[in-house]
């Protein structure tokens, strides 16, 4: 399938699922009611549902899903591993530590910004520690050391989280577990701004490095001889992708499989040219997460399932099928 055709299909799917997400929820709305709410002529309750609940939630899902898709494609290229995903450097562990720490201190309710900022700070700490270990005294970055340091840092933060939860009351433990499952229930315009400010410029920056990522996917030595600034591209791309992941986790919790399944699937469909793969990964990730959020809201309505559970239920069997097909073609 051509990149243009697939891109058009993803745009149509994104628009369609986005519209369904506006109309359907615990309180279904008619087209006329949604239009009246958007134009300021409808009921106050309908306006509140559309403008303050569903639209921020859809946009946040789009930014988070798109960002995770692009970050996953970037990590898979730089690490030359189709199974790499955005949380591979321990970012989710650092963000979870920041969030759990704030929840245990009872500070999460002080401001809508407190929990996201704490999670983002924890993610930045994880990124700093991982890169500090991976960069040698000569200034070069060893990818193998980077991966191992990510595993170690993630294990360290997991131990810290376990210790905090072991001495915390039951309500804090429950809140922490729900946060780590991922959720868009707390979506508001502030979180949309946080996600958008980080995700969109970072995505454009990675797209501008698409040619260099194509060379890096072949191998660092080959990329060097073909004129790529290997260390520069590697550092910039990894840091930017990690920051996208940090921003996504800080506003939505840990949502798995988006950054793994989406870019891997698109790579099979359109190939490994990142000039097309990265924009398609953004569209695919946004569409996937908005759809997953719609399912999470509707399946047991009015009870809402954590979105991380839905992405796992969809992603695990789908990815196993892809792996089986890939193995059969070899």
74-103, pLDDT tens digit by residue?
A: 998 888 887 788 888 888 899 999 999 998
User: In whole angstroms, what is the distance from residue 62 CA to residue 285 CA?
Assistant: 7
Q: What is the per-residue pLDDT for 280?
A: 96
CB 32, CB 21: distance < 8 Å = no
Helix (H) or strand (E) holding 36: helix 31-39
Fold of domain 3-329: ABC transporter involved in vitamin B12 uptake, BtuC (1.10.3470)
In a 10 Å sphere around its CB, with 0-12 CB exposed, 13-18 middle and 19+ buried, how is residue 301 labelled? middle
Encode pLDDT of 161-204 as tens digits.
999 999 888 888 888 888 888 889 888 898 899 899 989 999 99
- Residue 200, pLDDT score: 94
Q: Are 103 and 122 in contact (CB under 8 A)?
A: no
Unique residue bearing structure tokens 């309505």: 301
Question: What integer pLDDT is reported at residue 217 of this predicted model?
Answer: 80
Angstrom distance (rounded) from CA 253 to CA 270: 30
Residues found in the chain: 330
> What is the tens place of the pLDDT at every residue in 196-239?
998 999 999 999 999 888 888 887 777 778 777 877 888 899 88
Rounded-to-integer distance, Cα 164 and Cα 179, Å: 15
Residue 73 near residue 82 (C-beta atoms within 8 A): no
pLDDT the model gives residue 3: 83
Confidence (pLDDT) at 1? 66
**Would you state the pLDDT for residue 40?**
80
Tell me: cis bond preceding 90? Omega within 30 of 0 counts: no
Q: Which of 186, 167, 190 is nearest to 105 (CA)?
A: 167
What's the average model confidence in pLDDT over 27-49?
87
**Band of the pLDDT at 300, cuts 50, 70, 90?**
confident
Q: How far apart are alpha carbons 248 and 226 in whole angstroms?
A: 34
Question: How far is the C-alpha of 174 from the C-alpha of 180, rounded, in Å?
Answer: 10
pLDDT category of residue 328 using cuts at 50, 70 and 90: low
Measured between alpha carbons, how far is residue 286 from residues 17, 22, 70, 103 in Å?
Answer: 10, 15, 10, 29
Let me know: does 243 contact 127? Beta carbons within 8 Å: yes
CA 244 to chain CA centroid, Å, is 7
In the prediction, which pLDDT does 138 show? 58
- Spell out the residues 6+ positions from residue 264 whose beta carbon is closer than 8 angstroms to its own: 72, 76, 82, 83, 319, 322
For residue 173, the 8-state DSSP code is H
**What is the residue-averaged pLDDT of the chain?**
87
Question: Phi/psi at 130 (nearest 5 deg)?
Answer: -65, -45
| pLDDT, position 10 | 94
Question: What are the pLDDT digits (tens) for 96-133?
Answer: 999 999 988 888 777 778 888 888 899 889 988 888 88
Q: Could you tell me what percent of the chain has a pLDDT over 90?
A: 34
Asked if pLDDT for residue 152 goes beyond 70, the answer is yes
- Domain locations in the chain as residue ranges: 3-329
What pLDDT band is residue 136 in, cutting at 50, 70 and 90? low
User: Between residues 255 and 330, which one has the greater pLDDT?
Assistant: 255
- The tokens for 79 are 């690490």
């Amino acid at each position: 399938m051509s990149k243009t055709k697939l891109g058009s299909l993803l745009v149509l799917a994104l628009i369609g699922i986005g519209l369904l997400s506006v109309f359907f929820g615990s309180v279904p709305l008619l087209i006329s009611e949604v239009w009246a709410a958007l134009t300021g002529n409808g009921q106050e309750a309908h306006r509140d549902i559309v403008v303050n609940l569903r639209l921020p939630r859809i946009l946040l899902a789009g930014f988070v899903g798109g960002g995770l898709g692009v970050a996953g494609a970037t990590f898979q290229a730089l690490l030359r591993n189709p199974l790499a995903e955005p949380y591979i450097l321990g970012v989710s562990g650092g963000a979870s530590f920041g969030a759990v720490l704030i929840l245990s201190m009872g500070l999460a309710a002080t401001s809508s910004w407190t929990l996201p900022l704490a999670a983002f700070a924890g993610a930045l700490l994880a990124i700093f520690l991982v890169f500090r270990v991976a960069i040698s005294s000569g200034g070069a970055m060893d990818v193998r050391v980077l991966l191992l340091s990510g595993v170690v840092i993630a294990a360290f933060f997991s131990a810290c989280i376990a210790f905090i939860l072991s001495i915390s009351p039951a309500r804090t433990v429950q809140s922490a577990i729900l946060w780590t499952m991922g959720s868009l229930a707390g979506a508001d315009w502030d979180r949309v701004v946080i996600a958008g400010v980080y995700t969109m410029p970072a995505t454009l920056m990675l797209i501008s490095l698409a040619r260099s990522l194509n060379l890096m996917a072949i191998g660092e030595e080959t990329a060097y001889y073909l004129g790529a600034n290997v260390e520069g591209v590697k550092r910039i791309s990894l840091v930017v992708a990690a920051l996208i992941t940090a921003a996504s986790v800080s506003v939505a919790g840990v949502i798995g499989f988006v950054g793994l399944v989406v870019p891997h699937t698109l790579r099979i469909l359109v190939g490994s040219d990142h000039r097309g793969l990265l924009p398609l990964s953004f569209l695919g990730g946004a569409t996937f997460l908005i759809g997953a959020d719609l399912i999470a809201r509707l399946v047991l309505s009015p009870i809402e399932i954590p979105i991380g559970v839905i992405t796992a239920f969809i992603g695990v069997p789908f990815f196993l099928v892809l792996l089986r097909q890939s193995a059969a073609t070899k």
